[in-house]
Amino acid sequence: MSEVRERVREHYRTLALGMTDDCCDSACCGGSDGTGAGLYTAAERAELSDAAMLASLGCGNPTAVAELRAGESVLDLGSGGGIDVILSARRVGETGRAYGLDMTDEMLDLARRNADEADVGNVEFLKGYIEEIPLPDASVDVVISNCVVNLSADKPVVFAEMARVLRPGGRIGVSDIVAADHLTPGQRADRGSYAGCIAGALSFAEYDRGLRDAGFEDIRVEPTHEIADGMFGAIVRARRP
């Protein structure tokens, strides 16, 4: 797991340090292949600075998936440049709270700058791993993530951590890369690297089973667009009992 983690960290550290319009050509770097800033509405893009939009490296729009409400606390796993944390903070309002968790110092620095520029005060960025979330049990209402869960080498632990930090009745609204059920792990690896978000993707059936094993209910894993042959951007919803 440590080797995968360090490869991913270095990839996103490099992106944070050299964020430009043509930052990279991987599947999770704001390309024209159904990823990045284009997945947000014009109204959402208008809420954010150009720098924040350049830091949009995901495969979906989890703030829309999660249907955030005023007063809720929300945690973004792998918050990167902070775009989803900023949008979440505005959705939950002054009585709510938005946390961003990332393992990369350079991304955390970028996110804090973007949040300051957006003038949102109800945010907090935390350094840590999505396999070891530095928050107490039952402390948030919603967990979101944007093309990050697939980067973990220990997804069952990530699912268990999601369940741990959620309050009873809490929910997840995740955008992720998911593989067609017929693809083997080797075939998924042939389609892209771990840092490019594809090699580590679970299949639809594996995602459902993993969330169920972690205790989630009302699980839905639904494709939205094809990223590569047999690989899909998907929205994942589930609820903690």
**154 with 131: CB under 8 angstroms?**
yes
pTM of the shown model: 0.82
Domain ranges of the chain: 2-239
Averages of pLDDT over each 10 residues, the chain, 241 residues: 57 52 41 47 55 55 88 96 93 97 92 93 96 98 94 94 98 94 86 59 96 98 90 95 97
CATH superfamily label, 2-239: Vaccinia Virus protein VP39 (3.40.50.150)
Closest CA to 224 of 216, 235, 214: 235
User: For 194-226, what is each residue's pLDDT tens digit?
Assistant: 444 566 889 999 999 999 999 999 999 999 988
| Cα-Cα end-to-end distance for the chain | 30
Beta pairing partners, 99: 75, 124
Q: Rounded to an integer, what distance in angstroms lies between the CA atom of residue 27 and that of residue 32?
A: 9
Residue 199 CA: distances (Å) to CA of 11, 133, 185: 15, 23, 7
Q: What percent of the chain has pLDDT over 70?
A: 72
Beta strands in the chain (DSSP E): 73-77, 97-102, 123-127, 140-146, 166-179, 217-228, 231-239
